[in-house]
Amino acid sequence: MILRPALLLFLVAIAACAGSQTARTSDVLFATPEAALAREQAPDLYAQAEWASAQASDAHRRKDERAAEDHRTESRLWLAASIAEAERVQLDRRRAELQREEEHWGKQLARDQEASAAVAQDISRYEANAVALREAERLSALTGASTVSDATLDAVLTRVRMNLALAEALGATDEQLLPLRERADFIARQRPNAARIAEALLLESETLIGQTRADWPEPRPGASTALVQTASVTGFSADRLGSAVLIRSGRFFTSKGQVSSATLKRFIGLLEAFPHGPVACQVAVPELSSRVWARRVAQLVERFGRSEDPKRVSTSMVVAESLAPGTVQCTFAAYRNP
Amino acid sequence: MRAGFVLLALVWAVSAAVGLADGVQPRSQSAELEQRLGQLEARADAKYAKGALAQARRALLRASSLPEDASAASRAAKIADAALVLADRQLARREAQAELIATQRRLNAVRERASAQRRALEALMRDRASLSRGGGSP
C-alpha cells in the first residue's frame, strides 16, 4: 500500500521526463509485482500499456527514436493507470469487507440492545415481584398470627377495597358489596388487632370475586390478563401462554420440605378468584423415583384436596432441568384468550 | 484521353475526401481531449492528479503545435489520452481511499458501541442472576 503510490509517482515522473528513459526501464516496470497485480485487476488498461510498449519496440527497430520515446511514455502512463485502477479495486474490496464487518457489529449491537431491554424489564419484574411477594406474604401471615400490625391491616384494607371494586366491575350486586364495604369501613375506624377479623374480610372479598366470575359459563374477555396480574401481585410468577395461563412458584415447599401454608393459601385464593376450568399442576423433582419428593408431593395433593373444589386441581411430578426441585407450575387451561 | 481524364478526376476526389477526413478527425479528437481535461481540472480534488493533468496539458499543446507532422501529433494525442485516463483513475483511487477511511471510522465506532452494549448486557444479566438467586423471583 505504501509502495504503490511511490511507484505511481515514479512512473508519472519518468513519463514526464521521458526523453531520458530507455526501453530497458519500461521492461523493469512491467516486471514489478504491482504490474503483475494490474494485469489481473485492470486487464484492459494493462493491455493498452503492452500495446504501446510493442509500438515503441517497433519504432526502435525502425530507428525512429522520437516515435519510440513517445510510445514508451504512453506505455508508462497506461501502466500507471492500470496500477492505480488495480489499487482502487483492492481498496473497494477492502471497503466491502469492512462494510460487512460493520453490518455484523451493527446487528450484534441491535440484538444486545434488545436483549438489554428485555433483561432490564425482567429485573423490574423481579423487583416488583419481590415487593408483591413481601406484601402477599404479609397478608398470608394472617393465618398463622393471632394479632395484626397496623401496616398489615392497612395492606389488608387496601386489598379488600381493590377486590370490592373489581367485584363491582365484574357485576357484583349492591346486596353483595354493601355488607363488605361497611365491614371494611368499620375495621378502618376501629382498627381491631385480631388477625382473624382482617383475614375473614379479605377471604370473603376474594370469594365474592370468584362467585361473580363463576356466574359466567366461561372466563370473560380480559380474564387471563387479570389472572396474570393478580398472580403477579400475590407473589407468583405468571405467563400467558398461547392456550393457557401458567402460574409458577418455588415457594410451595419450605426449606425443610414442608408444604408452605402461606403459599398454598395464596394459591387457593387465586383458584377461587379464577374459578373456571381445570388446573394442572406439575411439581419439578430431581428424579421420579425419589421417595422424599413423592412424600412431599403427596402432602401437597392432600392439601389441595382440602379446597372447595378438590377435583379441579390435578397434580403430577416432572423432571425438568430448567426448574429448581420443588418448583410448582400450574396451568389454568380455561384462560386462553387475553 | 477522355477516360484518362475521368480517372484522374476520381483519384483527386477520393484523395481530397480522405484529406478532409484526416483533418476533421484530429480536430474532433483534440476537442474531446480538451473537454475531458477541462472536466478533470475543474474537480475539487484535481490537485491529487496534478502531475498527470499537467502531462496531458503539455501533450495536447504539443499535438496542436505539430500540424505539419500528423504522426507526431497523433502520438502526442495518445499520450494526452493516457495521461487523462491516469488522472481519472488516480482520482477514483483517491475517492476509494477516502471511503475506506470513512468506513473504517464507522466500523470502529459501531464496534466500540457494540462492545459497550455487550458489557452493559453482561452487567444486567449478572444483576438478574443475583436477584434470581436472592429470591427476587417468586
Residue partners of B22: CB distance under 8 A and separation at least 6:
B70
Q: Which residue has the higher pLDDT, A215 or A16?
A: A215
Judging contacts by C-beta atoms under 8 Å, the chain A residues touching residue B121 are 112, 115-116, 119
Per-residue pLDDT of A46-103, as tens digits, reads: 999 999 999 999 999 999 999 999 999 999 999 999 999 999 999 999 999 999 999 9
Q: Three-state DSSP class for A283?
A: strand
- In this prediction, residue A220 carries a pLDDT of 80
**Mean pLDDT, rounded, for B86-104:** 97
**Residue A122, C-alpha cell as written in the block:** 425482567
Chain B residue closest to A86 (CA)? B93
The H helix count followed by the E strand count for chain A is 11, 5
Confidence of residue A144 (pLDDT cuts 50, 70, 90): low
* Domain boundaries defined on chain A: 3-99, 135-215, 220-338
**Residue A56, C-alpha cell as written in the block:** 515503441
Q: Determine if the pTM surpasses 0.80.
A: no
Contact A9, B52 (CB under 8 A): no
**Mean pLDDT, rounded, for A187-192:** 89
Q: How many CB atoms lie within 10 A of CB A124?
A: 10
Residue-averaged pLDDT of chain A: 85
- In this prediction, residue A69 carries a pLDDT of 94
- In this prediction, residue A7 carries a pLDDT of 56
The range of the structural domain enclosing residue B36 comes to: 2-103
CA distances from B94 to A9, A25, B46 (A): 14, 27, 10
Taking an 8 Å cut-off on Cβ atoms, the answer to whether B128 and A126 are in contact is yes
A283: β partners: A317, A328
Per-residue pLDDT of A255-283, as tens digits, reads: 888 999 888 888 988 898 898 999 999 99
Alpha carbon B109 to chain centroid, angstroms: 31
CA distances from A325 to A254, A304, B108 (A): 12, 19, 47
Judging contacts by C-beta atoms under 8 Å, the chain B residues touching residue A122 are 128
Chain A residue closest to B86 (CA)? A81
Q: What percent of chain A lies above the pLDDT cut of 70?
A: 86
Question: How many beta-carbon contacts under 8 Å exist across A and B?
Answer: 142
Find residues 216-245 of chain A whose CB sits inside 8 Å of chain B.
Answer: 235-237
Q: Which residue has the higher pLDDT, A251 or B25?
A: A251
Judging contacts by C-beta atoms under 8 Å, the chain B residues touching residue A120 are 124
Q: How many CB atoms lie within 10 A of CB A79?
A: 32
- In this prediction, residue A228 carries a pLDDT of 86
Distance CA A236, CA A229 (A): 9
Distance CA A247, CA A279 (A): 10
What 8-state DSSP symbol labels residue A327?
A: -
Q: Which residue has the higher pLDDT, A63 or A133?
A: A63
- In this prediction, residue A99 carries a pLDDT of 96
Class of residue B91 by CB neighbours under 10 A (exposed 0-12, middle 13-18, buried 19+): buried
Q: How close B98 comes to chain A (CA, Å)?
A: 10
Contact A198, A160 (CB under 8 A): no
Q: Using the predicted structure, report yes or no on whether residue A212 has a pLDDT greater than 50.
A: yes
Q: Which of A93-102, A119-128, B1-10 has the lowest mean pLDDT?
A: B1-10
Strands A328-332 and A245-249: antiparallel
Q: Which of A131-135, A232-236, A302-306, B66-70 has the lowest mean pLDDT?
A: A131-135
| ipTM of this complex prediction, to 2 decimal places | 0.77
DSSP string, A174-198: HHHHHHHHHHHHHHHHH---BHHHH
CA-nearest of A337, A334, A293, A338 to A315 is A293
Residue B113 belongs to some domain of the structure:
no
- Full 3-state SS string of B50-115: HHHHHHHHHHHHHHHCCCCCHHHHHHHHHHHHHHHHHHHHHHHHHHHHHHHHHHHHHHHHHHHHHH
Residue partners of A4: CB distance under 8 A and separation at least 6:
A34, A83, A87
Distance CA A209, CA A1 (A): 79
- In this prediction, residue B9 carries a pLDDT of 47
Amino acid in the structure at residue B2: R
Confidence of residue B10 (pLDDT cuts 50, 70, 90): very low
CA distances from A102 to A98, A322, B112 (A): 6, 36, 11
Residue B82 belongs to some domain of the structure:
yes
Find residues 31-50 of chain B whose CB sits inside 8 Å of chain A.
Answer: none
Distance CA A35, CA A52 (A): 15
Q: Which residue has the cell 482502487?
A: A88
Task: Select the highest-mean-pLDDT range: A174-178, A217-221, A285-289.
Answer: A174-178
- In this prediction, residue A311 carries a pLDDT of 85
**Mean pLDDT, rounded, for A27-39:** 88
The domain covering A220-338 belongs, at the CATH homologous superfamily level, to: OmpA-like domain (3.30.1330.60)
Strands A237-240 and A313-318: unpaired
- In this prediction, residue A185 carries a pLDDT of 94
Residue partners of B15: CB distance under 8 A and separation at least 6:
none
- Phi/psi at A195 (5° precision): -65, -35
Contacts 24+ apart (CB under 8 A), A223-227: A223/A274, A223/A276, A223/A335, A223/A337, A224/A332, A224/A335, A224/A336, A224/A337, A224/A338, A225/A338, A226/A166, A226/A274, A227/A270, A227/A274, A227/A332, A227/A335
Taking an 8 Å cut-off on Cβ atoms, the answer to whether B117 and A251 are in contact is no
CA-nearest of A234, A66, A219, A217 to A134 is A234
**Residue A236, C-alpha cell as written in the block:** 407468583
Strands A237-240 and A245-249: antiparallel
Taking an 8 Å cut-off on Cβ atoms, the answer to whether A12 and B51 are in contact is yes
Chain A residue closest to B112 (CA)? A105
Task: Select the highest-mean-pLDDT range: A285-294, A299-308, B109-118.
Answer: B109-118
Give how many domains chain B has, as a whole number. Answer: 1
Taking an 8 Å cut-off on Cβ atoms, the answer to whether A16 and B110 are in contact is no
Residue B49 belongs to some domain of the structure:
yes
Listed in order, strand segments (DSSP E) in A74-203 are: none
**Mean pLDDT, rounded, for A41-45:** 96
Distance CA A152, CA A146 (A): 13
Distance CA B117, CA B125 (A): 12
